Amino acid sequence: MFLKSRLISDKRGLANPHYLRGLSNFPFMDKVKIGISCGDINSISLEVILKALNNEQIFKSIIPIIYGNIKIVSYHKNIALLENLSINIIGQGEKPRPGRINLVNCWSDNVTITLGKASPDGGKFAQIALERAVDDVLKSEIDALVTGPVNKLSMRMAGFNYSGHTGYLKDKAEVNDCLMFMVSDRIKIGLVTDHVAVSSIASQITKESVLSKLRIMEQSLMSDFGIEKPHIAVLGLNPHAGEEGLIGSEDEEIIRPAIIEAKKAGLFVAGPYSADGFFGSGHFSKFDGILAMYHDQGLIPFKNMSYYEGVNYTAGLNFVRTSPDHGTAFDIAGKNEADPRSMIHAIYTAKDIYLQRKGFHEMRENVLKKRPKLSEESSE
């Protein structure tokens, strides 16, 4: 069973403890070191990070480490009316302190903050913090990574040549593929294509890409969410899943053959389903995971059901990475109106997945150790 531990915000958007459950189910309850990249300094990112960490309950199971800059963090503390929130700066060679909000100072430059606006500096310093945090998670200096929201235009201005975090993290992890996986207690939706133009979607959907995403989703549902035999639904690309080829050929020529091959490989997969009826009828509730063909097909129903609780998880990496399911919200930056609930869920989901994955792999290792050697089996 996947652990669901979370905090719920009060009407002011501040983090108040609601419940933590399931922690005693794990035999290894060392506190999990969660690195949090600061995101765009001109956005709500640090506001929601600081609000999420403004609670003693979080320190019972997590050691939070912000990657950013103390001057920028102090600026956003004042915006969030959290001037008294204590920050421990981690010096060279020092370890993060349990029971405190820790900070890795990633740069010493003086920065001009332009709240609510895309800028080269917003992208530059978000990238510096992200790179430092990713390096640390790859070196196991931290256990899991939560990324603050970034603005794609700001990142592009700063020379970041990816459409978002997902492609960058895939390359840093040196894996062949990964999955943008939107997860909440109620629903889990992965995407075959993510941040691509609508005009390019059909050309990027291949039998191989659908199969790859299905394999990653199945493995993630087992190892990261504790679902032994996950059932996965696949959505069609065209209206009414193509009406047997009358409205586009992709559903019959690409998606259905991929589903058939996945079934032959032992996956519990069904589809392709027409997206409107699938969600409108509530049929989605019968599945552990859903594979959508493109961004809005998956994220519109997901955010409609899980807006304040949803988390963006990158499945298929060799480390755990989550983020809130919202963006930079430039329109409310600096107004102390940002709701931290999705960031709170992102932090706890990162912790839960890290522990679930650790338990999954330890269990498998124990099974392999107990299995008799081939020579012993053959001698019986």
Q: Which of 52, 110, 47, 72 is nearest to 351 (CA)?
A: 52
* Interval 86-100: pLDDT, tens: 999 998 889 999 999
Q: In the predicted model, is pLDDT for residue 74 greater than 80? A: yes
Query: What mean pLDDT comes out for the span 237-258?
Result: 93
Q: Which residue has the tokens 């840093």?
A: 172
* Interval 324-363: pLDDT, tens: 999 999 999 999 999 999 999 999 999 999 999 999 878 7
Reported pTM: 0.88
pLDDT at 373: 52
Tell me the CA distances in angstroms from 62 to 23, 187, 213, 336, 350, one per residue in order: 12, 25, 31, 25, 10
Q: In the predicted model, is pLDDT for residue 206 greater than 60? A: yes
Show Cβ contacts of residue 112 under 8 Å, excluding neighbours closer than 6 positions.
Answer: 121
pLDDT at 360: 87
* Interval 25-56: pLDDT, tens: 444 468 999 999 999 999 999 999 999 999 99
pLDDT at 76: 97
Query: What mean pLDDT comes out for the span 307-330?
Result: 96
Show Cβ contacts of residue 300 under 8 Å, excluding neighbours closer than 6 positions.
Answer: none
Q: Where in the chain is the domain with CATH 3.40.718.10?
A: 6-175+317-379
Q: In the predicted model, is pLDDT for residue 14 greater than 70? A: no
Q: Which of 297, 266, 265, 293 is nearest to 206 (CA)?
A: 293
Q: What would the two tokens of residue 248 be? A: 């586009």
Q: In the predicted model, is pLDDT for residue 20 greater than 60? A: no
Q: What percent of the chain has pLDDT over 70?
A: 88
Q: Are 234 and 292 in contact (CB under 8 A)?
A: no
* Level-2 CATH architecture, domain 6-175+317-379: 3-Layer(aba) Sandwich (3.40)
Angle between helix axes 120-138 and 165-173 (nearest 10 degrees) is 30
